Structure 1
């Protein structure tokens, strides 16, 4: 059966599928209970009160427990009759028999909620104590967890009873509930006397435990003026003491950002949790009204308080607490504004509930939620970050002239962005990211600069958080990309220098040597002009395609004059179609290969004859230069530039270079495609 009180009347309804389901299907007024001896006991709304501490006096409590004894005893002895019907009307009787045990499925949700709050709070206390077993604060917190267990389990027993609970058991459970509640408040006060800073010397932190322990004894002996003085007043004093201690702790924290973060989180947890219990549960009772929600559900607010304080005591992700606190408070204020605006539109403008709620939600979304970023900058000290400027600064640092300037500029940027009190080198093995509970931020070694540890951001006014860690990673990525870009640029410059040196070695030298040995002034002048034109092309990295027959004719004349001046016989044989057009890379490569091979032959081999043969085939163009000189071993010239340059040119075009030295002469073969360089 389910009993409920509505004003001065008591109603009853059978549980679906229960023994009396057909007899009492809907909520029906209950006039009285006729006991087995014929006595009629008229039920009162006070018989169904959840918490006896809300009664006006100890006399009312004694009368309440006495009626509970009578009802519980009658239900145990045998069947009773429920007299149903409106007051003053003729009632009908329904006989019911109390079961020796209440089925688990019949227990209301409030019962399980209270058990869950107690059990979870106890486990949270055990987790905190396990994390820091040697510190006083976790021990006090674990004792507070036991206090929650002490008031939720007894309350679950008597606050969800069907009609009556044996009086002595009820009184003992109520006393245990009161003990657990006072233990929780006293322990939390003691906790704030020693954490995060110690406010009292020696063992004076235990004073709240002694004071409120004696108060509980006095209330159990019914010495104060009534439940308001024995149960409600000490709870109020504990709440005030907690708030005062938190305020003193915040003042004593000074410029310690970790302590202030913990206390702000404590304050938010206490405000949210206490507000969630006081306003819907305690305040209506003080006005003589029913609570907005059942006390069992109101206990969920203690779980909020406990979890919040547990995070602070365990120092779990301490650097995130300010951000979490801001988000919770921001959205709680938003929810409060939503409800207030909804009530205002319903009462003042007479809008229906659904349109009023929809309009309120739209106004909050448009007017309040956009303020989040501005509020975060004001509350958390968050600054707007100019990513474009950071990228420019990273590039400037990457281009710093030397390692000392690089490290100095890198430190300056970190100091400008995070404003740490100190920047010191970090050990190479130190993990990067937020460290030391938000007091430090470690950035990796970059560009020759060591790993750095930034300590106490914003000149010590707050802690580093995960957002700072992500920003540091982003800046480091920008700088790493800029360093990679600088190194790529330097590699490009070095490669361009090697190209210019290679082209000058392979082309310009041979051309100038030909001009030097040419006796005709016009020919000499043309060779010098060609050398200058090639020099401009080499410097500007440009070139033009050419018809293969024309190119070979110029090279044949150049080599013939050069070798004739040295008295070396020259054979030239070309087998190629007349219509071949060679691309610019091929033109440069053919010139360089022929010039370098012919130059090497007459400078190192002392030949009497040099032969050049050029043939087109399926693989492209085959160039062969041979001589009858003294030959050489590859190891003798392995360190020179000529052979290395020829190999690089062949590799760039996707061709191959073969050098076949012997005791008498050398043959150089170069095979490359006519289509140009490979992709």
Structure 2
């Protein structure tokens, strides 16, 4: 490692960081705060194995969690199944009353469709004057007074239904005494089992994430999953409601579910302090979120929080907005594309939560629809939020699907919230409210999807034509210099994805893979050219200047590019082999046929001038055949041959040659390069000899980096090159220079003469 602070790696790998001061070259891991899959910064001979083997204490702990969850679910089902109830189902009528919907009891069947006005057990009678008996969750009652009445009513009903029989009073004056019986586990509704299993699954997924890789962000995810699992279990209990919640759930529902929502929001703040990178002061920021949530829950438990529902809703929004602000700060520190996605999804979730809040608050003004709005809208919200938490670990490698699923989940919640809001607030007919809500939701979906996914998904900055040129150029250069495979592949990926960070690591993978959070991708360096062992992999991070998340489609694209590069190299080798064989055949024919005839002519020449001319022609033929037979020419050797050849020709024409040749790298010229440069030099010298009447000829040849500059100047009588008609000679010069990707220009020089300047800016771009 150099001690002067310089970077020993190929400077051509540096990618400019848009908006930053200098190129970014990194060796991974970048910092302890940046997320990177373990092991990717260290050498390894084989592909990475799964990070966690589910065995030992992890497997035991997971089975213990599952056993505790299943046992708790079984105990809960047993308690609910043993609760006494009346075999009847109830519903709200159009006038805000509870009416009998159906019953298998012969005593109640004649009263189906009648409104219930009271419940008694002989000494105690409870009047039913509102729909609060059907209100499943006090958590979604807006007013404190309604919540207090709800609690009293459900405790009274629970007391009455605990007896052996109960008397039901209907609005037509009928009084029916019916027996209460335990429903049994098999009598629990299907919705209970679905929601309970769903909640248990969400909680177990959170536990598995924490056990697989114990870390702060996985702990925050596990807390969110456990909280949402608890919400779903409470909703499963509420699904068993007929008349009155089972004790003690009526009293626990509001404080526990309020705490679960606040804990979820605080855990989200904690998570964004650590994901996608650890923020400065993360511990104190996370602690602030937890203190805020605990303080609100404590104030409610102490009875010191009036308008508790509003405080809970606003508190969740405040913590959510705080989390989005932290994500914006995180992106400014390190432009991680996942921060953009998380921030935009957070905004969408907050907007959906706010819409749900408005829908419930608006519907609270209508007693007939309040309980339906609260039940349906909250059920959809928790179900889809739980679905996102449940599927997130499994869809992390296919993030496009996760984003689409999350969007559809949020939009479905929006559609239902809009439906109940329009039906409750504007008193629209069901069909009209459903139609309007669907249209609005589809509009929101189109706009939100474009906003959330447009930048993170990104697009390739390389056109197809440019990609083909790059692949062809790399294939030719790799064939000549196999050791530059990794460098050239990194350059190609840099142009394709515009990453902020790019590096060649020693670890070897079988195929391209996306890192866990989508911020980076590892592309294996293929075996090309003469390599016996591939030189590791190329790691790229933060594509599109930190605005693009890598996906499985990007990994497949890079695999296809690498495969096309491999095919291009093999094809080019086959083509070059055919060219080499054809050049050898042509060189052999020239040597055996034309060479023999020229040699005979030289020995039979009648004058010294003719003999000397044929001798020079033989020398030219020897140079030509030797050049055709060789596949590559060292620049210094080619220059020596050029100088020797031109010196002989100019000396015979009594023209003095001044030769200047400088280069910073003794590169290998292909036959194409050598042939074109040889013919250009010969034609320019021949033109000076034939037409300029010059006595001096200056040739200056310079190679700097990948740029060639050739200047041929004479002191002859040539004038006004713009007026020249370019025949085969000068036309051939233009054609061959253009073949090398260069340009040629003739101009007058003082005091007299012509200068021709040839510039080839990127010699290696044309192989």
| TM-score between the two structures when normalised by the length of structure 1 | 0.58
Three-state SS of the structure 2 residue aligned to 1:290 is helix
Do residues 67 (structure 1) and 153 (structure 2) align? yes
Distance 1:76 1:421, change over 3 A: closer
Of the candidates 538, 547, 552, which is equivalent to residue 453 of structure 1? 538
Of the candidates 113, 124, 127, which is equivalent to residue 205 of structure 2? 124
Which blocks of at least 5 consecutive residues in structure 2 are unaligned? 1-87, 423-427, 598-767
Of the candidates 243, 257, 260, which is equivalent to residue 336 of structure 2? 257
Q: Name 1:13's counterpart in structure 2.
A: 101
Rounded to whole Å, the distance in 1 between the matches of 2:489 and 2:138 is 68
Three-state SS of the structure 1 residue aligned to 2:183 is coil
Q: Name 1:187's counterpart in structure 2.
A: 267
Rounded to whole Å, the distance in 1 between the matches of 2:405 and 2:147 is 44
Rounded to whole Å, the distance in 2 between the matches of 1:221 and 1:335 is 33
Contact 1:442 1:452 in 2 (8 A): yes
Q: Name 2:30's counterpart in structure 1.
A: none
Distance 1:156 1:416, change over 3 A: closer
The offset of 1:139, in angstroms, is 1.9
Three-state SS of the structure 1 residue aligned to 2:180 is coil
Rounded to whole Å, the distance in 2 between the matches of 1:416 and 1:212 is 47
The offset of 1:279, in angstroms, is 5.8
Distance 1:43 1:465, change over 3 A: same
1:338-377 equivalences under 5 Å are none
Of the candidates 172, 175, 185, which is equivalent to residue 255 of structure 2? 175
- Per-residue Cα deviation, 1:493-516 (whole angstroms, up to 9, x for no partner): 4666788999999x99xxx9xxxx
The offset of 1:10, in angstroms, is 1.4
Q: Name 1:390's counterpart in structure 2.
A: 467
1:6-155 equivalences under 5 Å are 6=93, 7-15=95-103, 18-20=104-106, 23-24=109-110, 26-37=112-123, 39=125, 41-55=127-141, 60-84=146-170, 87=171, 90-102=172-184, 104-107=186-189, 109=191, 111-133=192-214, 135-155=215-235
The offset of 1:165, in angstroms, is 3.9
Work out which structure has the larger RCO, using CA pairs closer than 8 Å and 6 or more positions apart in sequence: 2
Do residues 3 (structure 1) and 82 (structure 2) align? no
The offset of 1:353, in angstroms, is 6.9
Rounded to whole Å, the distance in 1 between the matches of 2:493 and 2:274 is 36
Which blocks of at least 5 consecutive residues in structure 1 are unaligned? 345-349, 513-679
Q: Name 1:572's counterpart in structure 2.
A: none
Q: Pick which of 331-340 and 253-262 moved more.
A: 331-340
Do residues 236 (structure 1) and 323 (structure 2) align? no
Distance 1:20 1:236, change over 3 A: farther
Q: Name 2:494's counterpart in structure 1.
A: 415
Contact 2:524 2:537 in 1 (8 A): yes
Q: Name 2:648's counterpart in structure 1.
A: none
- Per-residue Cα deviation, 1:561-613 (whole angstroms, up to 9, x for no partner): xxxxxxxxxxxxxxxxxxxxxxxxxxxxxxxxxxxxxxxxxxxxxxxxxxxxx
Rounded to whole Å, the distance in 2 between the matches of 1:83 and 1:369 is 52
The offset of 1:372, in angstroms, is 8.5
Q: Could you say which structure has the larger radius of gyration? A: 1
The offset of 1:244, in angstroms, is 1.8
The offset of 1:390, in angstroms, is 2.5
Contact 1:194 1:200 in 2 (8 A): no
Rounded to whole Å, the distance in 2 between the matches of 1:161 and 1:372 is 38
Q: Name 2:562's counterpart in structure 1.
A: 476
1:257-656 equivalences under 5 Å are 257-258=336-337, 260-261=339-340, 263-264=342-343, 266-267=345-346, 270-271=349-350, 274=353, 277-278=356-357, 281=360, 284-285=363-364, 289-290=369-370, 293=373, 295=375, 298-306=378-386, 308=388, 317=396, 321=399, 324-325=402-403, 329=407, 380-383=457-460, 386-400=463-477, 402-403=480-481, 407=485, 411-421=490-500, 423-427=502-506, 429-437=508-516, 438-448=519-529, 450=535, 452-456=537-541, 457-493=543-579
Q: Pick which of 55-64 and 332-341 moved more.
A: 332-341
Contact 2:155 2:250 in 1 (8 A): no
Distance 1:25 1:441, change over 3 A: farther
Do residues 205 (structure 1) and 282 (structure 2) align? no
Three-state SS of the structure 1 residue aligned to 2:574 is helix
Rounded to whole Å, the distance in 2 between the matches of 1:326 and 1:28 is 47
Q: Name 1:247's counterpart in structure 2.
A: 325
What is the aligned residue count? 489
Three-state SS of the structure 2 residue aligned to 1:76 is coil
The offset of 1:171, in angstroms, is 1.3
Contact 1:398 1:486 in 2 (8 A): yes
Rounded to whole Å, the distance in 2 between the matches of 1:151 and 1:172 is 12
Q: CA RMSD in A?
A: 5.1
Rounded to whole Å, the distance in 1 between the matches of 2:243 and 2:293 is 32
